[in-house]
């Protein structure tokens, strides 16, 4: 295995090819979103020279306590690109994650770590922020749910306050695997099927600690446009239906839940995505890049794309000033788009 090297790089020349093909520069004055969640788009944020620092699918982003943004791409020339908030590249690492898909940041007694879910390698990896692999969780043969590695295709992780690890097998058999901090399997729940507590595309998972006395898991069921809540022991609690929103993973920021919506209509490459924002009561309050949310008799009406800024948003990252960074899948190898809160 190629041992990664942490490389400090200056910002390359911004490549015009990294700006969305359908972007009109006059749209920089356009305000996206609704209510108290409105944004101005900066599509040139973070653009780099693709001959030096390329991306393929920009799958996910996280931000550390220093304000550095870590972008995960399945481009093995540089699986991780590190930005500052102004969009300057601070460094890159990673060559061994061809199926890099899920990226989670954890804090253990003041030290931060990354968790990478790799579709192609059928495994999850814990690394330092500089890229040293500390732990590998391979396919869970001990669960009794799988007979071969190829049946297990993890998409995301969530880390509990006690260090327990939750892995969503979103492209595989749809189980949620619960491990202790050392990687010993403790529990398995979910699985493919109709109704609750089963899943069809358990794509994303996160820990919801907004109620500090009662932390829970939020898990997206992308194929059915649902966000499901479970206890940490795997018991189904409730769900929120977001019609026509094929959501990726939930991201908690303050009292709100932010969700990249990959598409709002089929096929999967329909370039019809946007960002969805929920309040603390699970009400949809803003849809940057989409239609204004509307409820009838207490039910959210179908969401759809408005304008064509986004193609396929796959993840969002929110900074301390409430700006959003949107990473996209299958979108012409474009770099993330920054939405500045206004």
Q: Which structural domain, as residue segments, surrounds residue 104?
A: 27-341
Tokens of 86: 């102004």
Confidence of residue 16 (pLDDT cuts 50, 70, 90): very low
Closest listed residue to residue 94, CA positions, set 81, 82, 78 = 78
Report whether pLDDT(10) > 90: no
Looking from the CA of 272 toward its CB, the CA atoms found within 13 Å total: 15
Residue 313 predicted with pLDDT over 90: yes
The reported pLDDT for the residue numbered 285 is: 98
Is residue 107, in this structure, part of any structural domain at all?
yes
**CATH number, domain containing residue 75:** 2.120.10.30
What's the pLDDT at 29?
A: 60
CA atoms within 13 A on the CB side of 206: 21
pLDDT in tens, 199-255: 999 999 999 999 999 999 999 999 999 999 999 999 999 999 999 999 999 999 999
pLDDT of the residue at 19: 53
Asked if residue 25 has pLDDT above 80, the reply is: no
What's the rounded mean pLDDT across residues 70-84?
A: 98
Spatial contact of 61 and 336, defined as CB atoms under 8 Å apart: yes
Q: Which residue has the higher pLDDT, 221 or 28?
A: 221
pLDDT value at residue 123: 98
Q: What does the pLDDT read at residue 128?
A: 98
- Asked if the structure places residue 35 within a domain, the reply is yes
Q: Per residue in 166-187, pLDDT tens? A: 999 999 999 999 999 999 999 9
Task: Give the helix ranges, DSSP H, for the chain.
Answer: none
Kindly report which listed range (24-28, 246-250, 286-290) carries the lowest average pLDDT score.
24-28
- Residue 20 inside a domain? The answer is no
How many domains, in total, are found in the chain? 1
Residue 117: count of CB within 10 angstroms of its CB: 31
**Looking at the domain assignment, is residue 166 inside a domain?**
yes
Across the beta sheet with 236-241, the strand order is 205-208, 216-221, 226-230, 236-241
176 in a structural domain: yes
pLDDT at 2 over 70: no
Residue 245 belongs to a domain: yes
pLDDT for 142 beyond 90: yes
Q: Is 260 a member of any domain? A: yes
Q: What are phi and psi of 278, to 5 degrees?
A: -110, 150
Percentage with pLDDT > 90 across the chain: 91
pTM, two decimals, is: 0.92
User: What average pLDDT does this structure show over 8-33?
Assistant: 51
16, part of any domain: no
Are 223 and 217 within 8 A, CB to CB?
no
| pLDDT score, position 212 | 92
């Amino acid at each position: 295995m190629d041992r990664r090297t942490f490389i400090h790089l200056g910002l390359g020349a911004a490549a015009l090819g990294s700006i969305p093909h359908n972007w009109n520069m006059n749209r920089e004055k356009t305000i996206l979103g609704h209510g108290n969640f409105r944004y101005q788009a900066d599509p040139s944020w973070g653009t780099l020279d693709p001959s030096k620092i390329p991306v393929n699918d920009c799958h996910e982003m996280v931000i550390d306590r220093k304000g550095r943004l870590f972008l995960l791409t399945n481009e093995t020339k540089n699986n991780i690109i590190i930005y500052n908030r102004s969009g300057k590249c601070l460094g890159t690492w990673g060559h061994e994650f061809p199926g890099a898909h899920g990226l989670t940041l954890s804090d253990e007694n003041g030290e931060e770590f990354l968790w990478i879910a790799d579709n192609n390698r059928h495994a999850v990896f814990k690394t330092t922020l500089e890229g040293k692999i500390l732990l590998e969780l391979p396919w869970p043969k001990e669960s009794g749910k799988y007979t071969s590695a190829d049946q297990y295709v993890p998409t995301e992780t969530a880390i509990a306050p006690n260090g327990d690890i939750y892995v969503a097998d979103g492209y595989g058999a749809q189980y949620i695997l619960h491990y202790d901090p050392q990687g010993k399997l403790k529990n398995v729940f979910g699985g493919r099927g109709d109704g609750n507590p089963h899943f069809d595309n358990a794509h994303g998972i996160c820990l919801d600690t907004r109620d500090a006395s009662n932390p829970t898991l939020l898990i997206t069921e992308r194929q059915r446009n649902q966000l499901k809540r479970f206890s940490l022991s795997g018991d189904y609690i409730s769900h929120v239906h977001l019609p026509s929103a094929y959501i990726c993973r939930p991201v908690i920021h303050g009292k709100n839940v932010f969700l990249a919506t990959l598409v709002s209509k089929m096929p999967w490459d329909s370039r019809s995505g946007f960002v969805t924002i929920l309040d603390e009561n699970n009400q949809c309050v803003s849809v940057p890049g989409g239609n204004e949310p509307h409820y009838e008799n207490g039910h959210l009406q179908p969401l759809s794309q408005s304008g064509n800024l986004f193609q396929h948003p796959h993840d969002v990252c929110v900074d301390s000033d409430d700006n959003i960074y949107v990473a996209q899948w299958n979108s012409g190898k474009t770099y993330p788009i920054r939405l500045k809160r206004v």
